[in-house]
Amino acid sequence: MSDQVPEVSVSPARKVFLSGASFVWVIPLAALFIALFVAWQNFNSRGPLITVEFEKGAGIKAGETELRYRDVTVGVVEKVGFTDGLGSVSASIRLDKEVGPFVDNGSVFWIVQPEVSAQGITGLSTVLSGVYIEGSWDDNIGGEADTFQGSSEPPLIRPGEGGLEIAFRTVANGQLTDNAPILFKGIEVGKVGRARIAPRGNFAIVEALIYEEHRQLINDSTRFWDTSGFSVSIGPAGAEIDFSSIATLIGGGITFDTFVSGGGRVSDGTVFEIFPDRETARNSVFSTSEVEPLELSVIFDENIAGLAVGAPVELSGLKIGSVEALSGVVDYDQFGDSRVRLNINISIQPARLGLPDEVSAESALAFLQNRVASGLRARLASASLLTGGLKVELVMVPDAPAARLTGEVGSFPILPTTENEMSDAAATVEGVFTRINNLPIEELLNAAINFLDSAEGFISNEDLRETPGDVRSLLSELQGLVSSEDVQGIPVSLNATLQRVETLVATIEQQSIAERLSEVLSAAATAATAVETSVEGVPSLIAQIEAVAAKAETLEVNELVSELTALTRSADAVVGAPDAAALPGSLKRALDELNYTLQELREGGAIENVNQTLASARNAADSIAVSSRDLPQIVNRLTQLFAQAGRTIEGYNKGDELSREAASTMRDIQKAADALASLARTIERNPNSLLLGR
């Protein structure tokens, strides 16, 4: 290889345009052209840009949210922003070129969101894909527009959904919601739009659509009624709940029927009335349709509870209206005092008055004015005895003071009133209730509570609890004492002794002895009386012999008994009779013999023996007297004892409550008392028997 560079022949270059340019430059140029063409084509195929203003964005996203027409995408939101002043959301939508011309000034746009309603679930696809904007326009190219007001809800009538457009007027508070169905024999033949309040505010207007294929079902005698909610009826067949469908139960619904044939065709825009139920709807066919009600004011002097809003207003027993509002009114100027009066507003439906000519509020007012002049008055009357509800009655009052149905401008005409008629039954019932009301139940209960409290305190007293036991033991002792043979033997011994003494005394006519005996007798009588008094006091004694217990223990009854017994013995000894039973009979003989002996011994010294005997007898009598003197003391002691027991029991009585123990005690006392009583009665019947033994 030689590094000799070959000779280079240099020739003048012919400068031709682009002769030095490489062919490869075609490629970038081609690319440029292609890019320009694509750009142009892209721009050329773009549709118009429209702006739709919505109240709320509801999830619209630029570049994602689509505009759909009949569920086909015809545009995309390019930009989301706000209108001037942030008043609303504006979405700029790039339309497809082919639909652009159709989006004219009659187009409607709304945002489709998932919605769960009684009629079903709509827009479910938007849960995953996000919301989209649905557009609706007709198939005619109309006036151009590029700014639209988006609506918040789908239009009632969508393109291609022709039908009969009617409207409903309702005064009831029907729960009609958007898209509530209009059913006919259970089949949905239309739907209801959004309810609006009529400009005057006295009823609601609802737009509705009857689908095209059901248009012939409606004529001008068709009556619509509300099937919202459900009705419950209880009859011989049992309880019955009736509702049309779940949808109407929740969202409300309307159904209709044509009760009479021969109605004329209806055109779009006809206004129908919605009746609350089928019966009303049926009846309305034969009566004049209701017009604007006549509002009246009625002022009653008395404010009687029981009148409520919605209470009927009746004329001759026929309901012609209802109470609209209740309020109190104080008007010194008008009534002359400051009493609160009942002011009610009633609305009267002129159609119910059956006026012959034009049916309107004015004609009804004129009619009522005429009637008021001839004595028509309003009064409150009982509507129901059970509930005490009241109604307003319009009645003819003969000889009523002159009055007119007048009203100031700007207020309702005031209907004159007359005396209220409350039914007697209501008044009676009211009286009964008043009386029951007035019963001092509170005080009674308080007293009872107090009584029970003190009774409880008393019964729970320790002393008192011990009392019945003490009383019973005392009484059993007492009973044992009384029923002891010694005591029971006392009268017998006494009798026997005293009999002898009496016989002796009577026979020998010994003055001093007799006097002493007399003293003894009176003392015994006193004792007996005391016993009697005691016995009389037994019922009260019965209750209480508690304190007796202690004293009864120390009572000297035993001593008494032994003393008496000793006395008896000494008496026996004094009398010295060998045969006690034969003594009375033989005494006379003995005395005769004594007399004889005395006569015989008048000259002898036998008298001295007699004197000695008598002295002995006197001593014996003295002893008896001494004993007798002790008896009243014993009796007194017993009396005190019983009195004390009586007091105790009296205190016990105050408790007004006897425990079972006390009751058994009482029975014991009763027994003791019976024993005492029988003893006492014996003595009382014949006090002398104590001495005489008879």
Residues near another protein, by CB under 8 A: 8-9, 20-22, 24-25, 27-28, 31, 128
In the chain the first and final C-alpha atoms are separated, in Å, by 198
Nearer to another protein, 4 or 434 (CB): 4
Question: Measured from the CB of residue 21, what is the shortest distance to another protein in angstroms?
Answer: 7
Our CB check for another protein shows the closer of 30 and 340 to be: 30
For the bound state, the minimum distance from the C-beta of residue 28 to another protein, rounded and expressed in Å, comes to 5
Question: Among residues 63 and 328, whose Cβ is nearest to another protein?
Answer: 63
Element (H, E) at 379: strand 376-382
The residues facing 690 across adjacent strands are none
Cβ at position 45, least distance to another protein in Å: 17
List phi, psi (to 5°) of 614: -65, -40
Neighbouring residues of 559: CB distance < 8 A, sequence distance ≥ 6: none
| Residue 672 identity (one-letter amino acid) | A
CB of 226 to another protein, least distance (A): 43
Distance CA 453, CA 455 (A): 5
Closer by beta carbon to another protein, 20 or else 336? 20
- Asked whether 241 and 207 are in contact (CB, 8 A), the reply is no
Q: Facing residues of 50 across strands? A: 93
Q: Which is nearer to another protein, 35 or 573 (CB)?
A: 35
Q: Of the two residues 8 and 402, which places its CB atom closer to another protein in the complex? A: 8
To another protein, the closest distance from the beta carbon of 48 in angstroms equals 25
When the beta carbons of 8 and 16 are compared against another protein, the nearer one is 8
Residue 543, classified by CB atoms within 10 Å of its CB into exposed (0-12), middle (13-18) or buried (19+), is buried
Least distance in angstroms from the C-beta of 13 to another protein: 13
- 383 with 312: CB under 8 angstroms? yes
Q: How far apart are CA 600 and CA 252, in angstroms?
A: 146
Beta bridge partners of 527: none
What is the DSSP secondary structure assignment for residue 398, as one 8-state letter?
T
Nearest-approach distance from CB 345 to another protein, in angstroms: 59
Q: Map 534-583 to HEC letters.
A: HHHCHHHHHHCCCCHHHHHHHCCHHHHHHHHHHHHHHHHHHHCCCCCCCH
CB of 164 to another protein, least distance (A): 42
Give SS3 for 42: helix
- Widest pairwise Cα distance in the chain: 238
**Closer of 21 and 318 to another protein (Cβ):** 21
The least distance separating another protein from the CB of residue 36, rounded to whole angstroms, comes to: 13
Nearer to another protein by Cβ, of 9 and 554: the residue is: 9
Sign of CA pseudo-dihedral 46, 48, 49, 50: negative
